[in-house]
Amino acid sequence: MTSRIAGHLLVDCLLAQGVSHVFGVPGESYLAVLDGFYAQRERIRFVICRQEGGAAFMAEAHGKLTGRPGVCFVTRGPGATNASIGVHTAAQDSTPMVLFVGDVASDQRDREAFQEVDYRAFFGAFGMAKRVERVDSPERLPEYVARAFATALNGRPGPVVLVLPEDMLTQPVPDALQPQPRWQVPAWLPDAGGLARLQALLQAAQRPIVIAGGSSWTPEGARELQAFAEAWQLPVATALRFQDSFDNHHRLYAGDVGIAINPRLAERIRQADLVLALGPRLGEMTTSGYTLLQVPRPQQRLIHVHPGAEELGRVYQPELALCASLPAMAAALAALPAPASVPWRDWTEAAHADYLANLQAQALPGPLDMAAVIGTLQRLLPPDAALCNGAGNFASWAHRFFRYHGLTKGVKTQLAPTNGAMGYGVPAAIACAITSGRVVVALTGDGDFMMTGQELATARQYGARLIVVLVNNGVYGTIRMHQARAYPQRQAGSMLTNPDFVRLAESHGLAGVRVERTEQFEPALRAALARSDGTLIEIMLSEQVITTRSTLEAIETQAAGR
């Protein structure tokens, strides 16, 4: 009987699940798997990253893009703990992901061997991972891998961690041992009684609003959602950093329900008599600190639809809870007979008018107008371009002023962390550029970029053409803003001394350009779009321009006068 080693069988299992790209940092603990990647190099690509946090972000972003689990490989101890930021992002963002951790050999376990960690305790705490398992038997690899993919995809998607003892990976397994077939997510259909109740609640409403979001949307589901909204003339808002769940150019779009929400939209949600939440968890950021909807029983009638039963009733007690796959739910809603007329047509038109009014920027000081920069991106980028960002006040300009075309056009165009992880934008953009071939922009701040900027080396190595728009204001902007509100005129711990970002980009093989005035940005972007290689455009923004609506000085003056 012929045989192969377990590390090669593991790669075959990944291929059976449809995996085409794997992101990671190599480690001696899983050399046998790396050899398996070499053997299958024509079918699966191992993307070598510079730090495990960047690798995990890339895998998480790939999961967002494809709807299939993004895959990351890291070594034990420091490698796994570095990767935990991506696991946490996948958990809070409900993104399917599988992290493989090379571990100490079985005969050295529980001795605090070199870099040994209790992964069940580490990743299992506070639900960071949906499942954490150690594969001690090579013959059970197909079982564990198949279960990992199923667990990552079923219900509320999320991350799974598989721990691989080094000695297990080198053991022989018979060729007759084959991978399990690719896991297909079953459709959870809404029950007829629940749909009838939803229809009755809608028909009784006067001021309804839809909040769409979550990670399980497909292009078909997004189109069905749009058809449903059009039939019922419903205003549709989107949850934090899921703005591409609905076409922002549509006449029914009401804006994003997230950080720095349009005050008019916030008030509209409070005034609504019915909130139909399709997919979002309704977490802290989407509910403005649990104030838009009261806990535990909102004043508005709440219909909460989510693919994970554990999310229903976790914080809010809805009038109606429906556990269903989002595409299946959207199809059922699109088929729901709508009345000939609805009493909320003016309400819907006013919600869209509020959104359009919010696109009008406030005048802020300085030679650089960030709203105009976002407007230029909007005008020059192709409709299928992906916009990726990490965390920081710089992202608020994209959230407010960029109008995502949405999944209705066939592809995901927004990649951003709902858990607020800094450093996400650049690795996400690299993963998207490597795997999709689309135009990709990473919108990042100076502090945000410095978390994972070394991954530009990964972009260069794999020919990832991306455009980095780096907003440099010399501070951790979000912290500086909060500091100004809570402790005016007492700045501490938020100033940054930065490198020369243009020269740094050039050292990684990208073109670098510095923009100090608004009129310089458009020619810089046009040149970047025309290049075959990547570009970093450094935007020099005054620290005073701290939010889309106000200055640092105004915030501190107001805080000092309280």
Q: Are strands 467-472 and 535-540 parallel, antiparallel or unpaired?
A: parallel
pLDDT, position 562: 66
Q: What are the pLDDT digits (tens) for 478-513?
A: 888 888 889 988 888 888 899 999 999 999 999 999
Residue 186 lies in a domain: no
What six digits make up the tokens of 519? 């009129």
CA angle 99, 459, 423 (to 5 degrees): 60
Segments of 427-466 assigned E as strands: 440-445
**Percent residues over pLDDT 90 in the chain:** 88
Instruction: Answer whether residue 525 shows pLDDT above 90.
Output: yes
Residue 136 lies in a domain: yes
Residue 185 lies in a domain: no
Neighbours of 320 (CB within 10 A): 17
pLDDT confidence tier of residue 23, bands split at 50, 70 and 90? very high
pLDDT, position 104: 87
Q: What are the pLDDT digits (tens) for 172-183?
A: 999 999 999 999
Query: Which of 336, 358, 380 lies at the terminal end of a domain, its last residue?
Result: 358
Say if residue 229 is in the same domain as residue 294: yes
**CB neighbour list of residue 139: distance below 8 Å, 6 or more residues apart:** 173, 177
> Could you check whether the bond before residue 78 is cis, i.e. omega within 30 degrees of 0?
no
**CB neighbour list of residue 104: distance below 8 Å, 6 or more residues apart:** 29, 76, 113, 114, 115, 116, 165, 166
What distance in Å separates the CA atoms of residue 44 and residue 47, rounded to the nearest whole number?
Answer: 10
Residue 60 lies in a domain: yes
Q: What are the pLDDT digits (tens) for 378-409?
A: 999 999 999 999 999 999 999 999 999 989 88
Average pLDDT score over residue span 526-535:
96
pLDDT, position 551: 93
Instruction: Answer whether residue 235 shows pLDDT above 60.
Output: yes
Q: Closest Cα to residue 51, out of 458, 367, 484, 390? A: 458
Q: Is the dihedral of CA 310, 311, 313, 315 positive or negative?
A: positive
From the number of C-beta atoms within 10 Å of its C-beta (0-12, 13-18, 19+), residue 211 rates as buried
pLDDT, position 65: 96
Instruction: Answer whether residue 1 shows pLDDT above 60.
Output: no
pLDDT, position 3: 76
Domain of residue 63: give its range: 3-173
The C-alpha torsion from 10 through 14 and 20 to 24, rounded to 10°, is -50
Say if residue 155 is in the same domain as residue 255: no
Residue 403 lies in a domain: yes
Say if residue 214 is in the same domain as residue 293: yes
Say if residue 336 is in the same domain as residue 443: no
Instruction: Answer whether residue 111 shows pLDDT above 90.
Output: no
Say if residue 377 is in the same domain as residue 346: no
Tally of structural domains, the chain: 3
- Helix, strand, coil share (%) of the chain residues, nearest 5: 40, 15, 40
Say if residue 417 is in the same domain as residue 541: yes
pLDDT, position 18: 98
Q: What are the pLDDT digits (tens) for 60-106?
A: 999 999 999 999 999 999 999 999 999 999 999 999 999 999 998 88
Average pLDDT score over residue span 111-138:
90
Q: In this structure, are residues 160 and 129 in contact, taking their beta carbons and an 8 Å threshold?
A: yes
Residue 268 lies in a domain: yes
What distance in Å separates the CA atoms of residue 59 and residue 433, rounded to the nearest whole number?
Answer: 13
Say if residue 161 is in the same domain as residue 196: no
Reduced 3-state DSSP string for 530-544: HCCCCEEEEEECCCC
pLDDT, position 115: 78
Residue 363 lies in a domain: no
pLDDT, position 408: 87
Instruction: Answer whether residue 207 shows pLDDT above 60.
Output: yes
> Which residues pair with residue 414 across a beta bridge?
387
Q: What are the pLDDT digits (tens) for 264-323?
A: 999 999 999 999 999 999 999 999 999 999 999 999 999 999 999 999 999 999 999 999
Average pLDDT score over residue span 247-261:
96
Q: Are strands 414-415 and 45-48 parallel, antiparallel or unpaired?
A: unpaired
Query: Which of 332, 358, 384 lies at the terminal end of a domain, its last residue?
Result: 358
Q: Is the dihedral of CA 388, 392, 393, 396 positive or negative?
A: positive
Q: In this structure, are residues 141 and 10 in contact, taking their beta carbons and an 8 Å threshold?
A: yes
- Residue 406's region, left for phi above 0, alpha for psi from -120 to 50, else beta, is left
Say if residue 202 is in the same domain as residue 294: yes
Instruction: Answer whether residue 31 shows pLDDT above 80.
Output: yes
pLDDT, position 32: 97
Q: Closest Cα to residue 11, out of 1, 3, 21? A: 21
Residue 307 lies in a domain: yes
Q: Closest Cα to residue 274, out of 244, 295, 303? A: 303
CATH of the domain at 477: 3.40.50.970
Q: In this structure, are residues 404 and 413 in contact, taking their beta carbons and an 8 Å threshold?
A: yes
Say if residue 466 is in the same domain as residue 539: yes
Say if residue 144 is in the same domain as residue 289: no
The C-alpha torsion from 422 through 423 and 427 to 429, rounded to 10°, is 70
CATH of the domain at 292: 3.40.50.1220
Average pLDDT score over residue span 519-527:
98
Say if residue 381 is in the same domain as residue 354: no
Q: What is the pTM of this model?
A: 0.96
Say if residue 410 is in the same domain as residue 319: no
What six digits make up the tokens of 471? 């907003």
